[in-house]
């Protein structure tokens, strides 16, 4: 349905990124060790940028990993089209091909290399960082359900909400959501990815094996 808006709760799926069998190298840093145990030693600029990124702001190439490598082939082969690269999301396969055709705002797809365990032999790919880059202000908290407050105007100077598990019609947006980017975040709602009906339909048609946990938003004038 082209004139529809969908909300994805995929960012709440913590199984994405769990024991993927890949590790990263940041610019100017050594390769991370081949282990599933993360020591949270990312550079300060990366940690800071990732906080902005998860609210929908585009970040610089240097804030993503320089490259990744596979240390557990069996685990890596199980990874879906959406996976975690360092502190950011990455895509491959059918999902990458779909996203290339849509407006992702100021961000977009950034190709990067993934190597075999020798850190020299490059896998065929292609692989892309998903650089978010669009924020809209169409979310209507007063007409939405299953919300709880994260920030209030009275105490924090701005309004921010989070939500429980969503069903169709729980989130309400204005018709302005139909304008602009096909993938975006809402300024007043935390950790939920919004998509146009066009992008939602294309993902379903491509049979992308990622549990986006879609819920259709209600649109008001």
Instruction: Give the span between the Cα atoms of 63 and 43, in whole angstroms.
Output: 9
What pLDDT is recorded for position 156? 67
Tell whether 76 and 158 lie within a shared domain: no
Choose the final residue of a domain: 108, 131, 154: 131
Structure tokens at 153: 């105007």
CB atoms within 10 A of CB 179: 9
Domain count, the chain: 2
Instruction: Please compute Rg for the chain using Cα positions.
Output: 18
- In three-state secondary structure terms, 16 is coil
Tell whether 188 and 116 lie within a shared domain: no
Choose the final residue of a domain: 131, 163, 192: 131
What pLDDT is recorded for position 39? 66
What pLDDT is recorded for position 150? 87
Tell whether 160 and 212 lie within a shared domain: yes
User: What tens digit of pLDDT does each residue of 63-88 get?
Assistant: 999 999 999 999 999 999 999 998 89
Tell whether 96 and 155 lie within a shared domain: no
Choose the final residue of a domain: 131, 164, 191: 131
Enumerate residue ranges in the chain where pLDDT < 50: none
Torsion sign across C-alpha atoms 57, 61, 65, 69: positive
Tell whether 19 and 124 lie within a shared domain: yes
Tell whether 18 and 111 lie within a shared domain: yes
Smallest Cα–Cα separation from 190: which of 51, 4, 64, 47?
A: 51
Tell whether 110 and 37 lie within a shared domain: yes
Range of the domain at 211: 5-9+135-220
Backbone angles phi, psi at 219, to 5 degrees: -115, 130
Structure tokens at 183: 């993938």
Smallest Cα–Cα separation from 90: which of 12, 17, 15?
A: 17
Smallest Cα–Cα separation from 159: which of 181, 142, 180?
A: 142
- In three-state secondary structure terms, 71 is coil
What pLDDT is recorded for position 40? 65
Tell whether 34 and 92 lie within a shared domain: yes
Tell whether 206 and 174 lie within a shared domain: yes
Tell whether 61 and 113 lie within a shared domain: yes
What pLDDT is recorded for position 44? 83
Tell whether 120 and 154 lie within a shared domain: no
Structure tokens at 44: 């300060």
Q: Which residue has the tokens 């790919």?
A: 125
Beta-strand runs (E) in 47-107: 67-70, 82-85, 88-92
Q: CB of 150 within 8 A of CB of 143?
A: no
Phi-psi region of 133 (alpha: psi -120 to 50; beta: other; left: phi over 0): alpha
What pLDDT is recorded for position 179? 96
What pLDDT is recorded for position 209? 86
Tell whether 23 and 109 lie within a shared domain: yes
């Amino acid at each position: 349905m082209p004139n529809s808006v969908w909300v994805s709760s995929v960012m709440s799926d913590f199984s994405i990124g769990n024991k993927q069998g890949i590790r990263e190298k940041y610019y100017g840093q050594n390769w991370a060790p081949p282990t599933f145990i993360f020591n949270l030693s990312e550079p300060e600029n990366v940690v800071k940028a990732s906080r902005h990124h998860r609210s929908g702001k585009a970040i610089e190439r240097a804030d993503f990993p320089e490259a990744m490598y596979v240390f557990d082939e069996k685990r890596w082969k199980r990874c879906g089209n959406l996976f975690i690269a360092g502190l950011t999301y990455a895509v491959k396969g059918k999902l990458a091909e779909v996203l290339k055709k849509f407006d992702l705002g100021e961000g977009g797809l950034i190709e990067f290399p993934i190597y075999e365990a020798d850190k020299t032999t490059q896998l065929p790919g292609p692989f892309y960082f998903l650089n978010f880059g669009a924020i809209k202000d169409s979310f209507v908290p007063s007409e939405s359900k299953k919300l709880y407050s994260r920030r209030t105007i009275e105490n924090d100077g701005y309004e921010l909400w989070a939500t429980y598990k969503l069903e169709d019609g729980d989130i309400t947006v204005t018709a302005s959501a139909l304008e602009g980017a096909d993938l975006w975040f809402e300024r007043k709602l935390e950790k939920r990815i919004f998509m146009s009906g066009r992008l939602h339909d294309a993902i379903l048609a491509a049979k992308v094996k990622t549990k986006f946990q879609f819920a259709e938003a209600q649109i008001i004038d």
